[in-house]
Structure formats: C-alpha cells, structure tokens
Amino acid sequence: MIQFYKKRDFGTFISDSFNFFKLFGKNYFKNYLLINGLLLILMVTVVIFGYKELFSQVFGSNLGGETYYFEQYFSDNMGMLIAVGLLTFLLFMILAIVNYLYPVFYLKRTAQGASTIKTDEILGDFKHNAGKIAKLCLGMIFIVAPLSLFVIFFSYILIFIIIGLFLVMLIYPTIFNVVTFLMYDYFNSDRRFFESLSYSIRSQFSYPNGSEKSPYWKYWGASIIMFIIVSMVSSIFTYVPMIFFYGSILTSTPDANFEQNPFTGIAGIIFFVFYGISMLLSFFLSNLLSVNAGLMYYDSRTDLHQKVELEEIETIGINE
C-alpha cells in the first residue's frame, strides 16, 4: 500500500505516481472508463467529424478555380455550426469536470484506506458534492481562469526580454499545481472556495508550519518531468498523422495539389483517426499528472501527517 500523508522528495513523487497505478491501475481505469467512457467517445466523435468537415471546407473552398467559398458554407450552415459548437462546449465542460475531479475522489478514498473502489462510490461522491462542484466551476471560470490568463499573457509579453521564456517554464507547472491543489483541498477539507484557493497558492511556497524548506522547486520539478513524459507519449500520435498528411501532399502530382482536398481520401482518414487516438491518450495520461499533483497535495498537508502515523501505529497495536 502507498502511504499518502507523508513527506516526499522530488524523485519519490515520480516513482510513487507510477507505483500508484501499479497497485490501483486496473480498478482505477475500470471505474474511469465506466464513468467517463461514453463522454470520451462522444467528445472525440464530435470533434473529429466537426474538424474533418471544417478543414475539408477550408482547404477545398477555392481549389481548382471553384466558386464555392468557405464564407458561403459558413453562412449556409450557421445553425448547424452553432449547435455543434454548443454541444462541443457542453461535452467539454462535463468531461473536464469528471476528468479532473475523478482522481480527487479516487485518491481521497484510497488515502482513507480503501483498496478496491466501486463505481457507485465515486458516482456517489459526485452526487453528494454537486453543490460544491457547481461553486468550484463558477470560481474557476470567473476567478481562477481570468487570473491565470492574465499571468500567462504577462509572461508572454516578457518573452521579448528573454526572461519571459524562463517565466513561462515556471508559470505553467505552477498554475497547474495551484489549480489541482485547489480541487484536492476543496474536497479534502472543510475550507471554502477562497480559503482553499489561498491554501493552494501558499502551499506552493511553504509548508503550514512555516519552519521547513520551501517545497516549490520539488513540486515544480515533479510537474515539469510529468509534463515532459506525457507530451512525449502524446506527440507520437500527433506527429504520425502529420507525416502521413504532408507525405500525401508531397508525393502527389503538382496538378493534384490544387485539385484535391488533402483532408479527403485515405490520408485524411488516417489523419483524423490518429488525431482522435491522440485526444483519448491525452485524457488518459492527464490522470498521471493529476495523481502526481495529488501526492504533492498530501505532502503539503503536514498537519495530518502525524495524525495518520499515530492512527497506523494504533492499528498495528490492535492487530497484534
């Protein structure tokens, strides 16, 4: 079993994240697919077919001197495009809520000692916390997102004076950690939204007792390593369709380049199939990032470390 509430160093975050999936992976992803599977399929289907149709019109609108323009297609299909856009946004919002909170509820139960978790238990957590989830969504949309975008925009401006590149590398993992800590703390403590937001920011730079070394660099380092791992794996399914796509263009005849739509035919099918696989893989791999951040959150809760250790000692005494 994994001890959740304990101090960890940089390397332990990485190894324990993979150990978590060795121990709980089968049960974790079984529940994940049962809860999230249909949403994932719907989202990928809508995005793939929507993108395929959109790109087909963009690239095919003016080929071969045709008079069929993308602007005309857009105006003729305004209602459909709006409906698909709203459906995509709604699916994305629901998928984001389930995808980001599922690890929070799962780790909370495993941290409490559960070894096998049922789907109904996780669904019960979602239903029981429906009010808090709604408040969290409002806070994320109207408070956290605007502040994060402002910080990111400011760091991109500073890229022109070199230091911005360094800030961007610091800011992205830090924002991710703050947002993830916020979700973990909001559902693992009695704090309200703004109290959890305050804790998630402060905990990046110091432990609650304030007397220990700042955990910022080990949190940042563990996150950036996970981001690199996830990006490298995901990029395999991103670059493969691009190779097929550009290969089909380069190997076709010059006249065909102007008369054929590159998003139709075998190349187009391969491109969007791999794009769909890449989307699914990104959602699955995001669990690795969330679990890693969850272990950081439990590392930050030094106020509970001693309490958990005493409970474990008492349990050992009872068993003996």
Could you report the per-residue pLDDT of 137-170, keeping only the tens digit for each?
A: 999 999 999 999 998 888 877 777 766 678 888 8
The confidence score (pLDDT) of residue 138 equals 94
Measure CA 234 to chain center: 13
pLDDT at 117: 94
**Alpha carbons 151 and 157: distance in angstroms, whole number:** 10
The pLDDT assigned to 94 comes to 87
pLDDT of 44 reads 78
pLDDT at 273: 74
Tokens of 10: 């940089």
Which pLDDT band, with edges at 50, 70 and 90, does 317 fall under?
A: very low
Q: How confident is the model at residue 45 (pLDDT cuts 50, 70, 90)?
A: confident
Residues in Cβ contact with 253 at an 8 Å cutoff, skipping those fewer than 6 apart? none
pLDDT of 15 over the 50 cut: yes
pLDDT digits 0-9 by tens, 223-232: 999 999 998 8
Proportion of the chain above pLDDT 90, given as a percent: 44
Instruction: Say if residue 120's pLDDT is above 80.
Output: yes
pLDDT at residue 249 above 50?
Answer: yes
**pLDDT tens for each residue of 185-199:** 999 999 999 999 999
Does the structure show a pLDDT above 50 at 258? Answer: no
CB atoms within 10 A of CB 67: 7
Q: Where are the domains of the chain?
A: 10-319
| Amino acid at position 296, single letter | M
Nearest C-alpha neighbor of 300 from the set 205, 175, 235, 229: 205
Cα separation, 73 vs 61, whole angstroms: 9
With bands split at pLDDT 50, 70 and 90, how would you rate the model's confidence at 256?
very low
Burial of 17: CB neighbours in 10 Å, binned 0-12, 13-18, 19+:
buried
User: Would you say residue 204 has pLDDT above 50?
Assistant: yes
What digits encode the pLDDT tens for the residues 272-289? 777 778 788 888 999 999
pLDDT at 71: 63
